[in-house]
């Protein structure tokens, strides 16, 4: 557990040092629990999510990095792969999620409703519905407040 804490403190310091380096990502560690993180990511451009800001929660196991963090969207999202879990470090994981949002994988969906209805070849209906979800469920949180 000490190794996990040391690794997370190191990652947290890196995040603080790189703050502002990636304007599409904001990552915050819970002040009282190093194993809980929250992230805000801006939807990728030229994707139906570009109008949204999405909040994610990281639950990091005490065996980290040997066991991956559990990542879940707190903001409702229409996407075939919303049950995404990762074994990457937290900032790399967020970049991977943004890439996944920009390029859905319809051949192996986790959200069967989106796959059955609109994904087969990324039809315009999928893009329209995903954008609608992004607008309707967007958090009133700004990535970089003035």
Q: What whole-number percentage of the chain has pLDDT above 70?
A: 71
45 within some domain: yes
68 within some domain: yes
112 within some domain: yes
The answer on pLDDT for 127 being more than 50 is yes
Which residues neighbour 130 within 8 Å (Cβ) at sequence distance 6 or greater?
47, 48, 49, 77, 78, 79
The string over 2-31, giving b where at least 16 C-beta atoms fall within 10 Å of a residue's C-beta and e elsewhere, is: eebeeebeebbeebeeeeeeeeebbbebee
91 within some domain: yes
146 within some domain: no
Residue 128 is predicted with a pLDDT of 80
Kindly give the interhelix angle for 2-17 and 90-102, rounded to the nearest 10 degrees.
Answer: 60
Extract the tokens encoding 140. Answer: 């009133």
87 within some domain: yes
The answer on pLDDT for 78 being more than 70 is yes
Query: What CATH code is carried by the domain that includes residue 56?
Result: 3.10.110.10
Q: Known catalytic residue: 87?
A: yes
Range of the domain at 66: 2-136
141 within some domain: no
Number of domains in the chain: 1
Question: What is the rounded distance in angstroms from the CA atom of residue 121 to the CA atom of residue 112?
Answer: 14
pLDDT mean across residues, the chain: 75
Residue 113 is predicted with a pLDDT of 55
* Per-residue pLDDT tens over the stretch 17-76: 887 788 888 888 898 999 999 989 898 888 888 888 989 888 898 988 778 788 888 888
39 within some domain: yes
User: Collapsing DSSP states into helix, strand and coil, what is residue 73?
Assistant: strand
DSSP assignments along 7-62, one per residue: HHHHHHHHHHHTTTSSTTEEEEEETTEEEEEEEEEEPPTTSTTTT-EEEEEEE--T
Extract the tokens encoding 11. Answer: 């990652």
The answer on pLDDT for 88 being more than 50 is no
Residue 38 is predicted with a pLDDT of 92
Instruction: Identify the active-site residue in 29, 87, 93, 112.
Output: 87
């Amino acid at each position: 557990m000490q190794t996990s804490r040391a690794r997370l403190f190191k990652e947290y310091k890196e995040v603080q040092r790189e703050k502002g380096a990636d304007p599409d990502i904001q990552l915050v560690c819970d002040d009282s629990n190093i194993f809980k993180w929250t992230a805000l990511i801006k939807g990728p451009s030229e994707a139906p999510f570009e109008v949204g800001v999405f909040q994610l929660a990281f639950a990091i196991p005490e065996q980290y990095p040997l066991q991956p963090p559990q990542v879940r969207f707190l903001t409702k999202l229409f996407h075939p792969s919303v049950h995404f879990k990762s074994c990457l470090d937290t900032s790399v994981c967020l970049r991977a999620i943004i890439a996944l949002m920009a390029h859905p994988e319809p051949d192996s969906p986790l959200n069967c409703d989106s796959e059955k209805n609109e994904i087969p070849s990324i039809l315009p209906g999928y893009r329209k519905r995903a954008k609608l979800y992004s607008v309707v469920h967007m958090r009133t949180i700004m990535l970089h407040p003035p």
